[in-house]
Amino acid sequence: SMYGNDGESEIDLVWPDGIEIPKINETEE
């Protein structure tokens, strides 16, 4: 999907520019 977080949840979450996504941040570290 557009937001690319299909792997994180079944629905797409709209994250405005500047909002950090904790799930991705934890994975990146």
pLDDT at 15 over 60: yes
Q: Quote the domain boundaries for residue 29.
A: 1-29
pLDDT at 25 over 60: no
Non-local (6+) Cβ contacts of 25 within 8 A are none
The model carries a pTM of 0.15
How many domains does one find in the chain? 1
pLDDT at 16 over 60: yes
Question: Once rounded to an integer, what is the mean pLDDT over residues 16-27?
Answer: 63
pLDDT at 10 over 60: no
Question: Which of 10, 1, 2, 4 shows the shortest CA–CA distance to 21?
Answer: 4
pLDDT at 9 over 60: no
